[in-house]
Structure 1
Amino acid sequence: MDTTVTAIGDVVVAALEDAGYMRSTIGQYRKSIKWLGVLAEDQYGQYTLTLGKKLASMTISPRSGKYSAQRHFDYGRLVCLFDSYILTGTVDLSMRPRAFQKEKPNSPEFSGLLDSWSQDLEQRGLAPATQTCFGGLACEYLLFLESDGVSSWDAADGASVLGFLESLRDRWAATSMWSAVSSFRPFLKFTQRTDLLDALALARTKRHHGIIPMIDSEVERQVVDACQHGSVSARDAAITLLCLSTGLRACDIHSLQLTDIHWREGTIGLVQQKTGNPLTLPLLPLVLTKLAQYVLEDRPDSDAHEVFLRLKAPHVALSDHASIYVIVNKVFHSSGMEDVRVGTRSLRYNAASKLLQAGTALPTISAILGHAHSDSTNVYLSVDTERLRSCILPLPGARL
């Protein structure tokens, strides 16, 4: 087997062309192959797994001097293709979750600890998204220790915990730091390091319960019109209408199976990714129509069981629930709402708020949204300003 960057690059490009990738995408791969070839000059053009790891680590843009998500994805994806060819003799074009592209610790002790943590998460039966989040933060902390010259778990101290949290502030919003701390704490409990837990408590992060406003009725009307009259693809229209009308979580829309749609009854029945609870919801006629149009006319031929697939090759399931956010925003922009930024969370709030305004009982809203606990629905009370005004008590001696 010829293992030069040039030879493997030709094989990779041929595989991309056979799979129907767009010219622009293949052109981007060629640019990454070119830079990989420059790195390989010191070793006579030969590709090795170590060389691939070096390219994947080059995530800092030379122009801005800052982290580049585009470089991270382009180089990481190319390295996956090169590595698959070196290890198996074939180019594996299957899509991988983002977590697979993350660097792993070099220390055998850290690698073993991370594997034990991953096994514990799986044995506890946590949702896949939760496992990815908990495991990802643990991995990032261990990598942070290694970057600071620490390769033994016993050498980790409280200062490293606070330093790690500070490093997250470049990528995590201030309002999300509570979530980061909450997702990191279980790992430290697993390791039984009470000193590190005490250091984590010093962060004193607070949970933010921001009031998410409802979407203006005119904005919603324009979005529905764009979905109804073909301004966007049937796939994107079906996803956006599902979000608007049902308030489904992004992870549930992403993992929706063809067998979950009950066409004759006009319903969908699924097991929620977050809670593991079964949920059956009726579909509005327009939503059902767009789903049927997509499945019967626009959905690419594929063996995948998921309803929603990539429009571009490879035609596999969407990479993760973040893809739903991108699609929904694209639909809003296509409908002329370029200044409106939304996601499935805001659309979930919007659906719940409309049900509340219509006089729907909280337990019913809780059942529709698939909450594990009915108390979770209380947060939506904050947007029902009319009913909140009726709860105001007059001040003693005040003139009305």
Structure 2
Amino acid sequence: METMVDDIGVVVVEVLRAARYKESTIGNYQKSIRWLAVLAQKDDGRYTPALGAEFASMTTSPRTGRFSGQRRFDYGRLVSVFDSYVATGLVSLVKGTRGAGIVVPHCAAFVALADAWSDEVERRGLAISTRSAYGRAAREYLLFLEASGITSWEEADGTTIFGYLDSLLERWAPSALWSAVTNFRPFLAFTRRQDLLDALTMARIRRWHQLIPELAERDELLVVRACTGRDVPARDAAITLLALVTGLRACDLIALRLKDIDWRGSTLGIVQQKTGNPLTLPLPAVVLGKLAEYVLGDRPHSDIPNVFLRSLAPHLALADHASIYAITRRTFRAAGVTQTKVGTRKLRHHAATKLLRAGTPLPTISAILGHSSPDSTNVYLGEDTEQMRACVLPLPAGTAR
């Protein structure tokens, strides 16, 4: 069995091509292999798990001198593949669930802290998606500390909070940074580091309450026509129609299982990933038909229980929210709707607004959208301007205008 980086790299690329990976993805692997070979020169080009661990920890960009999430992902992914080959003689391309590509810290103190936080969020009984987001935020901060030369929790101070938030701007838009802070704050509270919590508060990251433009009726019609025709693959059409009609969250679309669909009763029943609450929704004939077309005709043969799988090998469950966004974006483009940014958030707003205009009571809309609190539905009141105008009281006679 080969032990040289270059030789293992050849095997990995052959397996990737045999599995029909995209050439762009293979190119990213080859780029990482070249950098790994440079590091391996100190060991005469030989690969070991220890060398791989060192390579995976190289998360600082030499160009900017800052933490790079892309380097962390690419290097960690390659090391996982190389380690599988060294351990078994076979290249394993098996992917885990969302967040599996995240590299864990290396120093013992940070590993223990991350494990303790993982046990805590599990003990709290939080939803899987919430546990994943909380764990990822904690690990990313600990990795940032390691990349900054800090290997003791006591050494972390308020300046590292500002540096960490600054590093996130490489991947997050300023308007979305609030979401990252929301997932990060509980970890700091768990560690009882009030100084770090104070620094996070001083950063003054505020939530942006962005008004989401309504989806025009003409655009909706174009999308439905494309999904019910042959312009869009059955999988993409089914996902888009489900989001458009039911307002399901991306995490629930990803987690949807074959057994969740009642084909005879034309309903689907799930336990929501975000809230842990059960939810049963009716499926219109057009949605059910497109689901059946995908499951019976286009879905790859697999033992994976999820309904929606990757169309390219390996045929695993969809990875994360970004995959759903890419699918809905392609569908809208195929329908000729190119001027509208679309994702499940916009489609949830669209579904809620249509229900509101149809005179559906807010508690019913709240149940359909799977809100844990009916108050969460009040945000959609601002979308229906006609209904809002009807609530305006006339000025008393004689009042100055």
TM-score above 0.5: yes
Q: Cα gap change, 1:61/1:280 in structure 2, threshold over 3 Å: closer, same or farther?
A: farther
Partners of 1:312 and 1:22 in 2: CA distance: 8
1:161 aligned partner: 161
* Residue of structure 2 equivalent to 1:102: 102
How far 1:279 sits from its partner (Å)?
A: 0.8
What is the Cα deviation at residue 131 of structure 1?
1.2
**In the alignment, which residue of structure 1 is the partner of 2:232?**
232
**CA contact under 8 A between 1:61 and 1:68: conserved in structure 2?**
no
Out of 338-347 and 44-53, give the one that drifted further.
44-53
How far did residue 245 of structure 1 move? 0.4
Asked if 1 retains the 8 angstrom alpha-carbon contact of 2:59 and 2:147, the reply is no
Report if the CA contact (8 A) 1:268-1:282 is conserved.
Answer: yes
1:130 alignment counterpart: 130
Equivalent pair of 2:252/2:273 in contact (CA under 8 Å): yes
Shift of residue 33 of structure 1?
A: 3.4
SS at 2:99 equivalent: helix
Q: Distance in 2 between matches of 1:70 and 1:110?
A: 21
Q: Which deviates the most, 16-25 or 254-263?
A: 16-25
Residue pair 2:67, 2:167 contacting (<8 A) in 1 also: no
Query: 1:36 & 1:167 partners in 2: Cα distance?
Result: 24
SS of the aligned residue for 1:100 comes to coil
1:245 maps to amino acid: V
1:93 counterpart residue number: 93
Aligned to 2:377: 377
How do 1:174-323 residues align onto structure 2 when only pairs under 5 Å count?
174-323=174-323
What amino acid is the match of 1:113?
L
Counterparts of 2:231 and 2:281 in 1: how far apart (Å)?
Answer: 26
Partner amino acid, structure 2, of 1:112: A
Please give the alpha-carbon distance, in whole angstroms, between the structure 2 residues aligned to 1:298 and 1:193.
Answer: 52
Cα distance between partner residues in 2 of 1:32 and 1:208: 37
Structure 1: gaps (5+ residues): none
Count residues with an aligned counterpart: 399
Offset from partner CA, 1:275-314 (integer Å, 9 cap, x none): 1111111111111111001000100111110000000001
Deviation at 1:338, TM superposition (A): 2.1
**CA pair 142-76 structure 1, distance change in 2 beyond 3 A:** closer
Counterpart CA distance in 2 for 1:164 and 1:68 is 11
Instruction: Tell me if the contact between 1:299 and 1:309 (Cα under 8 Å) persists in the aligned partners.
Output: yes
**Contact 1:243/1:344 (8 A) holds in 2:** yes
Matched residues in 2 for 1:131 and 1:104: separation? 15
Q: How far apart are residue 162 of structure 1 and its match?
A: 3.2
Question: Structure 1 residues 248-257 or 7-16, which shifts more?
Answer: 7-16
Give the C-alpha shift of residue 9 in structure 1.
2.5
Which 10-residue stretch deviates more, 231-240 or 196-205? 196-205
Amino acid at match of 1:258: L
8 Å contact kept, 2:98–2:132:
no
Deviation at 1:92, TM superposition (A): 1.5
Task: Please tell me the residue identity of whatever aligns with 2:4.
Answer: T
Deviation at 1:367, TM superposition (A): 0.8
Query: What is the DSSP-based 3-state SS (H/G/I as helix, E as strand, rest coil) of the residue aligned with 2:268?
Result: strand
Return the offset for 1:27. Answer: 5.7
Q: CA deviation at 1:58?
A: 6.3
- State the alpha-carbon separation in 2 of the partners of residues 61 and 294 from structure 1: 46
* Shift, 1:14, TM fit: 4.0
Question: How far does residue 325 in structure 1 lie from its aligned partner after superposition?
Answer: 1.1
Q: Which runs of 5+ in 2 are unaligned?
A: none
Stretch deviating more after TM superposition (146-155 or 297-306)? 146-155
**TM-score, normalised to structure 1's length?**
0.91
How many angstroms apart in 1 are the aligned matches of 2:15 and 2:6? 14
CA contact (8 A) 1:353 1:383 kept: yes
Give 1:345 deviation, angstroms: 0.5
Instruction: Classify the secondary structure of the residue corresponding to 1:281.
Output: strand
RMSD across aligned positions (CA): 2.6
Return 382-391 or 372-381, whichever deviates more. Answer: 382-391
Moved more, 94-103 or 26-35: 26-35
Distance in structure 2 (CA, Å) of the matches to 1:31 and 1:179: 32
Aligned partners of 2:270 and 2:280 also within 8 Å: yes
The answer to whether the 8 A contact 1:357-1:384 is kept is yes
Task: Report if aligned partners of 1:61, 1:71 keep a CA contact under 8 Å in 2.
Answer: no
Taking the aligned partners of 1:66 and 1:200, their CA distance within structure 2 comes to 19
TM-score (norm 2): 0.91
Q: 1:45 & 1:195 partners in 2: Cα distance?
A: 45
Residue deviations 1:143-162 (CA, integer Å, cap 9, x gap): 23333333222222233323
Identity of aligned residues (%): 56
Partners of 1:136 and 1:27 in 2: CA distance: 27
- CA-to-partner distance for each residue in 1:361-385, whole Å, 9 max, x for gaps? 0011011111111111101001010
- Contact 1:222 / 1:335 at 8 angstroms: preserved in 2? yes
